[in-house]
Amino acid sequence: MRKYWIDNLRWVTVLLVLLYHVIYFFNNKGVFGGVGGFGDGPQYQDVLMYVLYPWFMPLLFLLAGVSARYALQKKNGKEWFKARTRKLLVPSTIGLLVFQWMTGYFNTHVGGTDVMAAVPQPIKYFIWAVSGIGPLWFIQDLWLFSLILLLIRKVPCCTGTGKFCKLFASREWLLVVVLVLFGVLFWAGQQTLIFNPRPESADGLWNLYKPVFYFIIFLLGYYVFAQDEVHEVLGKAWIPLMAVAVISGTVLTISTFGQNNTVPQYMSTPLNCLYGWLMCLAMMGWFKAKFDKTNAFAGYMTHSSFGLYIVHYLVVASLGYMMKFYTSLPPVAIYAILTVSVFTLSPLLYEVLRRIPIIRWCVLGEK
CA dihedral of 68, 70, 71, 72, whole degrees rounded to 10: 80
Tell me which amino acid residue 25 is. F
Compute the distance between CA of residue 134 and CA of residue 131 in angstroms, rounded to an integer. Answer: 7
- DSSP per-residue letters across 215-283: HHHHHHHHHTTTSHHHHHHHHHHHHHHHHHHHHHHHHHHHHHTTS-TTSHHHHTSHHHHHHHHHHHHHH
Compute the distance between CA of residue 185 and CA of residue 191 in angstroms, rounded to an integer. Answer: 10
Whether 216 and 148 have beta carbons less than 8 Å apart is answered as no
How high is the pLDDT of residue 165?
62
| H or E segment and range at residue 22 | helix 4-25
Whether 310 and 364 have beta carbons less than 8 Å apart is answered as yes
pLDDT truncated to tens, each residue of the chain (367 aa)?
A: 899 999 999 999 999 999 999 999 999 998 888 888 998 788 999 999 999 999 999 999 999 999 999 999 999 999 999 999 999 999 999 999 999 999 999 988 876 677 777 888 889 999 999 999 999 999 999 999 999 999 998 766 555 545 666 666 667 888 899 999 999 999 999 999 999 999 878 999 999 999 999 999 999 999 999 999 999 999 999 999 999 999 999 999 999 999 999 999 999 999 999 999 999 999 999 999 999 999 999 999 999 999 999 999 999 999 999 999 999 999 999 999 999 999 999 999 999 999 999 999 999 999 8
Q: How many CB atoms lie within 10 A of CB 86?
A: 15
Domain residue limits at 301: 4-160+176-197+204-364
Query: Would you say residue 298 lies in a domain?
Result: yes
For the chain, the helix, strand and coil percentages under 3-state DSSP, each to the nearest 5: 75, 0, 25
Q: Which is nearest to 48 in space by CA: 77, 21, 69? A: 21
Whether 355 and 64 have beta carbons less than 8 Å apart is answered as no
Query: Would you say residue 93 lies in a domain?
Result: yes
Q: What is the DSSP letter of 108?
A: T
How high is the pLDDT of residue 156?
60
Compute the distance between CA of residue 50 and CA of residue 248 in angstroms, rounded to an integer. Answer: 12
Compute the distance between CA of residue 119 and CA of residue 123 in angstroms, rounded to an integer. Answer: 7
Q: Which residues contact 296 (CB under 8 A, 6 or more apart)?
A: none
Query: Would you say residue 169 lies in a domain?
Result: no
Compute the distance between CA of residue 71 and CA of residue 77 in angstroms, rounded to an integer. Answer: 9
Structural domain tally of the chain?
A: 1
Query: Would you say residue 306 lies in a domain?
Result: yes
Query: In the 3-class helix/strand/coil scheme, how is 46-101 assigned residue by residue?
Result: HHHHHHHCCCHHHHHHHHHHHHHHHHHCCCCHHHHHHHHHHHHHCCCCHHHHHHHH
Compute the distance between CA of residue 352 and CA of residue 363 in angstroms, rounded to an integer. Answer: 12
Query: Would you say residue 170 lies in a domain?
Result: no
Q: Which is nearest to 142 in space by CA: 85, 71, 187, 227? A: 85
Query: Would you say residue 255 lies in a domain?
Result: yes
Q: What is the DSSP letter of 150?
A: H
Query: Would you say residue 171 lies in a domain?
Result: no
Query: Would you say residue 166 lies in a domain?
Result: no
How high is the pLDDT of residue 115?
74
